[in-house]
Chain A
Amino acid sequence: MRSLGIISALMALALPQIARAQELSAAERVAFGRSVAACWNVQQDAAAVTLGFELDRAGRPVMQSVRLLRSGAGTDAAIVAAFSAAKRAVLRCGAKGFDLPVEKYQQWRNIELTFDPERMVLR
């Protein structure tokens, strides 16, 4: 009975190891973020926006899936402009497919990207 309990505990410990193996590593997340940022042309005092979109297995954004999920403070025009700039960044840098591990596709199929320019303002 006692040994059965120990095996259960070990199995429970092993499960998250499998789940973690499917996750994107921190390095992969950072690299992906940087690859989008390279195409994100920031306007002064732009509004923060969060985009949702889907990637195909080749890492290319599905254009029809790109949508605005949330926005920070700003006028309607400022939010539309910030959304357009963020969308351009995703579509331009993803045109040939983002470099993401295909075996972890389910982890990066659906993306929520927040573009927050606050740290860039007035530099």
Chain B
Amino acid sequence: MKFVTMCLALVCAFGLTAGASAQQGPLRITIEEGIITPLPFAVPTFQAETAEAGQLAQDLVRVIAADLQGTGVFREIPSSAFIAQYTDFNAPVSFPDWKAINAQALVTGAVAVTGNSVNVKFRVFDVVSGTNIGEGLQFSGTTDGWRRMAHKVADEVYSRITGEGGYFDSRVVYVSETGPKNQRAKRLAIMDYDGANVRYLTDSSAIVLAPRFSPTGDRVLYTSYATGFPRIYVLDIGSVQQRVLESAEGTMSFAPRFSPSGNTVVYSLSQGGNTDIYTMDINSGQSVRLTNTPSIETAPSYSPDGSQIVFESDRSGSPQLYIMSAGGGEAKRISFGEGRYGTPVWSPRGDLVAFTKQNAGRFHIGVMRTDGSEERLLTASFLDEGPTWSPNGRVIMFTRETQGEGGASSLYSVDITGRVLQRVNTPEGGSDPSWSPLQQ
């Protein structure tokens, strides 16, 4: 019996020693809980390399800072807190001065203006480690396009620090609204993502709805009531030329959206009181019916790979979200929460579906996984609807309408955490936004 006890003791001793011996290697720890706070950055006014560049250097920096700050991922440190005087793009960076004000990232740059030409160069630094983040980069353009250059710089900074594509050098097409609620004039407008450079694409002689960008950002689909009934048009943004996509007489077509290839349009067609989903080859005009049910099927949106379509249907008795193959066939319901779901839009990353939800007298913009799991509501108001994704799938823009006779529509954006909700400044009211891909 004693022999057994001694053996057990030795075995235990060996096991523990081996364990202790393993501790002579590096200390291994896994961290799963961090913080989500905006990263403090500094962007001093760029060096003006020519006399004409002074104002532009300030303007560029204001746009870059606003882009980054607006993501909620970054927090700008005001220039009043700066210790270092930044005057020379090629001078060594005094990291202790930037560390002292708790900057973690630093963007420096220089601008040269010659006649109508602008050259912007910049560098991004990790202040904590005192190193460059990537190589210096420069963009050239014209003075008219200075905002785009600022957005491109901001996209590059965002991408280098987060590892994701940016979304600042993009545009939004939307319905501009003026006049009282019961007699509102609507026309298509296009603007930079931040509300700058608004340009009107149609007049307000006919009601227009639901503009949708093509995958290359050069065309827009929309629904117009020019004939008294809804019909789908395609508009070339460069030439502002438009043409109707023909559909059978006596039918109404609406809710169009491009396929990822840009060659096909998926849309709703109403005939004899029934609404189903169809596709149309945009060149030949040949259409294919995808659903055939007595219920209302609408608001189709392709997955980024073009293989599936998410759409809204009331086949279960109330509007819910469904996914089917891009060729049609059996659909699978993905929304099961309380309330009514509509206007689903597949994320460009492919991982989420954004939607409008109405429940208990309130409207919400929300997201869920494509299998319907992990539903999260990002907003709540009297009326929020019509989400559209930023090119990188991190931000959603939508329409918010205020209550009452004087209620007005405005554009808002929210990031997918729901933490950063912002109004998008437009000269008039706005609704039905559609976000373009990043510009080429």
Give the interface of A toward B (CB within 8 A). Answer: 2, 5-6, 8-10, 12-13, 15-16, 19-20, 22-24, 29, 32-33, 36-44, 46-47, 52, 63, 66, 74-75, 77-82, 84, 87-89, 91-92, 106-108, 110-120, 122-123
Contact = CB atoms under 8 A, between A and B. Distances in A.
B12 A91 contact: no
A15 to B, nearest CB: 6
A12 B37 CA distance: 51
B159 A77 contact: yes
B10 A9 contact: yes
Nearest to B12: A13
Interface residues of B, dominant DSSP: mixed
Interface in B156-178: 159-164
Given A13-B9, A52-B26, A115-B31, A84 B20 contact: no
A92 B128 contact: yes
Contacts of A115: 31, 34
Nearest to A47: B163
B126 interface: yes
Contacts of B159: 77
Contacts of B104: 41, 88, 92
B14 A41 contact: no
A65 B32 CA distance: 23
Contact of A16 (B13, B126, B128): B13
Contacts of A40: 31, 34-35
A15 B13 contact: yes
B23 A6 contact: no
Given A106-B24, A117-B32, 8 more contacts: A5-B6, A42-B36, A84-B161, A87-B129, A88-B129, A112-B27, A112-B29, A113-B29
A42 B34 contact: yes
Interface in B1-60: 2, 6, 9-10, 12-14, 16-17, 19-21, 23-37, 39
A122 B163 contact: no
B6 A122 contact: no
9 A-B pairs with the lowest CB-CB distances in the bound complex, closest first: A81-B163, A19-B20, A12-B13, A16-B16, A40-B34, A78-B163, A110-B26, A42-B34, A114-B30
B164 A43 contact: yes
Contacts of A89: 34
Nearest to B36: A42
Given A19-B23, A84-B133, A88-B129, A37 B17 contact: no
Contact of A108 (B2, B14, B27): B27
| Most chain B C-beta atoms within 10 Å of own C-beta, residue among A32, A42, A87, A89 | A42
A107 to B, nearest CB: 6
B35 to A, nearest CB: 6
Contacts of A92: 104, 128
Given A5-B6, A9-B13, A88-B129, A114 B31 contact: yes
Nearest to B165: A77
Contacts of A20: 16, 20
B121 interface: no
Contacts of B207: none
A79 B16 contact: no
A116 B28 contact: no
A112 to B, nearest CB: 4
Contact of A112 (B28, B32, B133): B28
A110 B25 contact: yes
A23 B23 contact: yes
A8 to B, nearest CB: 8
A77 B158 CA distance: 11
Most chain B CB within 10 A, of A32, A42, A84, A115, is at: A84
A21 B161 CA distance: 42
A120 B29 contact: no
Given A16-B16, A19-B20, A119 B163 contact: no
